[in-house]
Amino acid sequence: MQQEWTGEGLIFKVGRFREIDCWVRFFSPTFGLTTAMAFGGSRSRRRFCGCLDALNSVLFKVRFFPAKGCCTLEEATLLRMFPRLRQDAARTGLAANCLSFLQALRITPEEAPVVYALLMETLEVLDQAENVSPVFLQLFRARICFDHGYAPELETCAVCGREQPEQTGKRLTLALDKGRICCARCVPGAGRNLEIGPETQVILGSLSTSRPGQWVLIPMSAATRGEIFQVVDGYVRHHLGLRWSHGRFVAA
Ligand SMILES: [Zn+2]
């Protein structure tokens, strides 16, 4: 039985095979990551409008062949592109890093709509924002991690249960494996623990409800940036089982 689907997606990668054909890996809010063959994809402007390029948002018409476990791209129309992500090598690198992270994660179709919306907003920021600090990518990864059910509990001490409002300005210990904080009076349990300051507590605490357009504007000290790098790297490694190695995310 054949099935057809028409919907939007973002192209992650295009590869050529044979003279005029190509394969297209794209991420859609309906299926997550999909790879489809585009026969004539390198030539047919009538069916593909010359829009089969990485980082283009495209309206796809796809035909599925469930018995064969494959699908073909029938038509594609450009919805939007991100010019700066194409021209500015530094921004291309930041965008590629986001895509690499999502590819390594194996997003399910159930998770795909939320992740897709976040990805599109993130690319919009990378395309438009005047300045983007590398810590922005850490916030993107942290948000994906939190949305996967690993949002840390940053308001009460895991040992004594006392509330730890960030206004007190005290440093806390974050237990990476439990995703819980421990106040200065209590002794944290065994496992990987990281010290965080109030600024980091506020930023991580607001991440689940804020959007990429806000993250890029957050002022933060160098010390906080360092803490966020450590926390997010540790979190992604411990909870999602991934680490960055030689230009891509691999199993930790
Ligand atoms: Zn305590």
Span 215-240, pLDDT tens digits: 999 999 999 999 999 999 999 999 99
The Cα 15–Cα 25 span in angstroms is 9
> Could you say which DSSP state residue 147 is in?
I
For 62, the token pair is: 């796809």
Ligand 1 centre to CA of 188 (Å) is 9
Summarize pLDDT for 4-60 with one digit per residue, the tens. 999 999 999 999 988 889 999 999 999 999 999 999 888 777 888 889 999 999 999
- At residue 191 the predicted structure's pLDDT band, cuts being 50, 70 and 90, is confident
CA 154 to ligand 1 center in whole angstroms: 12
Domain residue extents for the chain: 3-81, 85-151+207-251
What is the pLDDT, as a whole number, of residue 154? 92
What distance in Å separates the CA atoms of residue 157 and residue 187, rounded to the nearest whole number?
10
Given a cut of 60, is residue 1 above it in pLDDT?
Answer: no
Dist. CA 113 → ligand 1 center (Å): 38
CA of 209 to the centre of ligand 1 (A): 26
Greatest Cα-to-Cα distance within the chain, rounded to the nearest angstrom: 69
- Ligand 1 centroid distance, CA of 169 (Å): 15
Residue 189 vs residue 12, higher pLDDT? 12
Query: pLDDT confidence of 2, banded at 50, 70, 90?
Result: low
pLDDT the model gives residue 46: 81
Expressed in angstroms and rounded, the spacing between residue 187 Cα and the centre of ligand 1 is 8
The complex's ipTM works out to 0.99
pLDDT in tens, 126-157: 999 999 998 999 999 999 999 999 999 999 99
All residues with CB under 5 Å from ion ligand 1:
157, 159-160, 183, 186
Q: How far is the CA of 203 from the centre of ligand 1 (A)?
A: 21
Determine contact, residues 204/154, Cβ cutoff 8 Å: yes
Measured in Å, residue 192 CA sits from the centre of ligand 1 at: 17
Superfamily of structural domain 3-81: Nucleic acid-binding proteins (2.40.50.140)
Ligand 1 centroid to residue 234 C-alpha, Å: 22
Assign a CATH topology to domain 85-151+207-251.
Answer: de novo design (two linked rop proteins) (1.20.1440)
